[in-house]
Structure 1
Amino acid sequence: MNTRELKFLVDVGVGKAIEDYLQSEGYDIKAVRNIDPCMKDEDIIRTAFWESRMVITMDKDFGELVYHSSMDHCGILLLRLENAVSYKKLKVVQFIMENYSDRLKNCFCVFQNDKFRIRKIAR
């Protein structure tokens, strides 16, 4: 996928290293910490949707918002990496982008226990 087609809104807690990596790879990224570090999850999804961005987060509440509240979105990448150091998170995102970037848009994606799942959400 052309890097111009995939844009991200990176949630607080994901880390600056991931923001820097994505930016260095040519992706259009915005960081929640630069907009409003206290932004509510619903507002993060809304902002990302309005700007055609995929949310990268470590907050599992986004699954509830997408599946049960049926919020419009352009994709969620949920990193279930509790207690992971910055280096580990970065390696996971690099792996995902190198192998799956062409399949992420408009999907709910979860990385957990060294497994990666991609689900297309019917709307």
Structure 2
Amino acid sequence: MKIVADEGVDKPIVDHLRALGYEVYYIFEEKSGIPDSAVLEIANKNKALLITLDTDFGELIFRLKEAAHGVLLFRFAGLTRDEKLKIVDSTFKNHFLELVDSFTVVTKESIRIRKLP
């Protein structure tokens, strides 16, 4: 699975996913500062899962009806690096196939997966 990581995603998460063998295009390294719509366009062009911490992508997908191959929104406020990595691992291990063509919100306590139209 290809992944586009929005620039707000922590570098240790990007490094961890790469170490697990995922191909990760990191906006912070490649095109920092571009608008969310351009980030989504890059993910779609590459048929990649978009990983973000930015809730604005919900508006792009649901209110403005933008297309997406899949969006994974992590809500990590107040968590340590190790807690974040544990949640990332669990999400990919337990829900890998469900992430494609879905808008997924992950917190420390829950995961909500909503299939995209």
Matched-pair contact (CA < 8 Å) for 2:8–2:52: yes
Matched-pair contact (CA < 8 Å) for 2:3–2:24: yes
Larger CA deviation: 55-64 vs 16-25: 16-25
SS in 1 for 2:34: coil
SS in 1 for 2:86: helix
The structure 1 residue matched to 2:10, chosen from 6, 15, 18, is 15
The structure 2 residue matched to 1:102, chosen from 97, 106, 111, is 97
The structure 2 residue matched to 1:27, chosen from 22, 25, 43, is 22
Gaps of 5+ in 1: 1-5
Query: How far apart are 1:11 and its partner, in Å?
Result: 1.0
TM alignment of 1:8-87, pairs within 5 A: 8-87=3-82
Q: Kindly provide the amino acid, as one letter, of the partner of residue 20 in structure 1.
A: D
Larger CA deviation: 64-73 vs 77-86: 77-86
- Pairs aligned (count): 117
Larger CA deviation: 6-15 vs 78-87: 78-87
SS in 2 for 1:14: coil
Q: Distance in 2 between matches of 1:12 and 1:58?
A: 9
Larger CA deviation: 85-94 vs 32-41: 85-94
Q: Percent identity?
A: 31
Gaps of 5+ in 2: none
Give TM-score scaled by structure 1 length.
Answer: 0.89
SS in 1 for 2:24: strand
RMSD value over aligned CA atoms?
Answer: 1.2
Give TM-score scaled by structure 2 length.
Answer: 0.93
Q: Distance in 2 between matches of 1:33 and 1:97?
A: 22
Q: Kindly provide the amino acid, as one letter, of the partner of residue 26 in structure 1.
A: G
Q: Distance in 2 between matches of 1:88 and 1:30?
A: 23
Matched-pair contact (CA < 8 Å) for 2:87–2:108: no
